[in-house]
Amino acid sequence: MPKIHLIDVTNRDGVQTAKLGLSKLEKTMINIYLNEMGVFQSEFGFPTTRHESLYLQANLKLAEMGVLKPIRLEGWIRAIASDVETAFKLVPNIRHLNLSISTSDQMIGGKFLGRKSRDDIINSMVEAVDAARSLGTETIGVSGEDASRTDLDFLIKFGLAAKEHGADRLRYCDTLGYDNPFTIYETARALAENIGMPIEQHCHGDLGLAVANSIAGAKGTIDGGQDAYINTTINGIGERAGNADLVAVILAATKSKGFAEKYQLAGSINLSNSWEIARFASYAFGVPIPINQPGVGANAFAHASGIHADGVLKDPENYELYNFKDLGRGEPRFVETGREIIAGQYSGISGFRHVMGKMKVLFSSKEEASEVLELVRYANVESQKPLVEDQLLFIAKYPKIAKKLLTLTPLK
Ligand SMILES: [Zn+2]
């Protein structure tokens, strides 16, 4: 039976969001949390963007070291052969790519302004797939941007050409969030049946349907006989109204009425990491989690009215679909209300050793402590907000990787 795989695109679609961004260390932490959660793949960045190069290389090194394992790290580029070449020049050990090009007549006319025909779109894509294959890419996903407004027959032709040239998946991008669960089900099923290749759902929330569409699209793909992939972002952060929220997709796939009896998530997803990953992304992006967000919102397990409170106290299942502990909630949180020593860009060695000592990190020498402190200062310069414990521990454990992440090389 085909399964549903999760590809998180926080480090691509999430950071592309207007007014938001992440530091390279924060992006790395996101990859680490996604890996711990059991997410299949992280679209971890932009291999043709120069300021990403060292971050991408450092994360591939972490994969090599077994720190980012088994998660698959995949880069997003345009489906243009020269972009594939640039990607391999800047990040020679990249092994997984997603190649994207617009497929709808709206975008072919409205973006390329008559310079490209439908045939040109397919040619550009297959040239890029060929280049990626010849340069050693292990898996290739091909994206049809604005696929939901693309003529279905053309999209099938596009997918078949991709498959013929050795692509592994077709990403169906509902770029504008235009689909609804009924239309996306039919389309995903038709694509799976006619192309005979796994289909990836990339859904946006412009009509409030990103999670519902992802689930319906996955069902259509599996009913069409193929493995389904769903693109998510943490807390649904993404362009405009956002993407399908990672935790909500997992909840919908595993807890909604009858769905998991036939349609299952691949691998083992640790739902209990939800609370941690949602809180970190909220902090790193500087975007609060809405109180009514599924699973991780402050009100997700709060009851006030008499009938509900009485009912949930008698039996939580009266008013709760799943337990807060399933999401990793329930541990008390300690907030410092007295003296606080913080490690930052102007910290000295004594305060830093105090902060690290509280986390039971002891340095073998003053030199080692100074070296890690220097990296922490730079990390704080980069993110402009206090580092969380996991970030400090990461820098202390992998100083060489941290140094690479914190090195930005401008154009010569
Ligand atoms: Zn998107």
Count the Cβ atoms, other than its own, within 10 Å of residue 135. Answer: 16
Which residue reads 């500087």 in tokens?
A: 286
Alpha carbon of 344 to ligand 1 centroid (Å): 34
Q: How far is the CA of 17 from the centre of ligand 1 (A)?
A: 9
Q: Which chain residues have CB less than 5 Å from ligand 1, an ion?
A: 13
| CA 14 to ligand 1 center in whole angstroms | 8
The tokens for 112 are: 């390329």
In order along its 412 residues, the chain shows pLDDT tens digits of: 999 999 999 999 999 999 999 999 999 999 999 999 999 999 999 999 999 999 999 999 999 999 999 999 999 999 999 999 999 999 999 999 999 999 998 999 898 888 999 999 999 999 999 999 999 999 999 999 999 999 999 999 999 999 999 999 999 999 999 999 999 999 999 999 999 999 999 999 999 999 999 999 999 999 999 999 999 999 999 999 999 999 999 999 999 999 999 999 999 999 999 999 999 999 999 999 999 999 999 999 999 888 998 898 999 999 999 999 999 999 888 888 999 898 999 999 999 999 999 999 999 999 999 999 999 999 999 999 999 999 999 999 999 999 999 998 776 6
- Bond before 399 cis per omega within 30 degrees: no
In angstroms, rounded to a whole number, what is the distance separating the alpha carbons of residues 234 and 221? 23
Residue reference for tokens 């695109």? 9
What pLDDT is attached to residue 336?
84
How far apart (Å, rounded) are the C-alpha atoms in residues 184 and 190?
Answer: 10
User: Measuring CA to CA, which residue among 34, 45, 28 is closest to residue 383?
Assistant: 28
- Taking the centre of ligand 1 as the mean of its atom positions, its distance from the CA of residue 242, in whole angstroms, is 8
The contacts of residue 179 (CB under 8 Å, 6+ apart) are 148, 187, 203, 209, 213, 217
Distance (Å) from CA 238 to ligand 1 centroid: 7
Ligand 1 centroid, distance to 371 Cα (angstroms): 39
pLDDT computed for residue 412 by the predictor: 66
Tell me the one-letter amino acid at 39: V
Place of tokens 């077994």: 66
* Of 85, 94, 21, 15, nearest in space to 59 by CA: 94
CA of residue 174 to ligand 1 center, whole Å:
8
Dist. CA 217 → ligand 1 center (Å): 15
Task: Yes or no: say if 248 and 236 are a contact pair by the CB < 8 Å rule.
Answer: yes
- Using the mean position of ligand 1's atoms as its centre, give its distance from the Cα of residue 177 in Å: 9
56 vs 294: CA distance, rounded Å: 31
CA of 315 to the centre of ligand 1 (A): 41
Q: Compute the distance between CA of residue 359 and CA of residue 187 in angstroms, rounded to an integer.
A: 52
Q: Which residues of 92-114 are buried (b: 16+ CB within 10 A; e: fewer)?
A: eebebbbbbbbbbeebbeeeeee
The helix (H) or strand (E) run that includes residue 232 is strand 228-232
Cα(51) to centroid(ligand 1), Å: 21
Residues in CB range of 266: below 8 A, 6 or more apart = 3, 4, 5, 40, 227
CA distance 10 to 215: 18
| Global confidence as pTM | 0.96
* Contact yes or no for 6/40 (Cβ under 8 A): yes
Single out the residue of 5, 51, 2 nearest to residue 231, CA to CA. Answer: 5
**Measured in angstroms, how far is the CA atom of residue 383 from the centroid of ligand 1?**
24
Distance 13 CA to ligand 1 centre (A): 5
Q: What is the DSSP letter of 245?
A: B
User: Degrees (nearest 5) of the Cα angle 148, 152, 153?
Assistant: 155
pLDDT (0 to 100) of residue 114: 82
Q: How far is ligand 1, taken at its centre, from the CA of residue 146, in Å?
A: 9
Rounded distance from Cα 110 to ligand 1 centre (Å): 18
d(CA 89, CA 351): 42
CA angle, residues 72, 45, 147, in degrees to nearest 5: 90
- Ligand 1: centre distance to CA 316 (Å): 37
Ligand 1 geometric centre to CA of 9 (Å): 8
- Residue 11 CA, distance from chain mean position: 5
Query: Cα of 43 to ligand 1 centre, how many Å?
Result: 12
Q: Rounded to the nearest whole angstrom, what is the distance from the C-alpha of residue 97 to the centroid of ligand 1?
A: 16
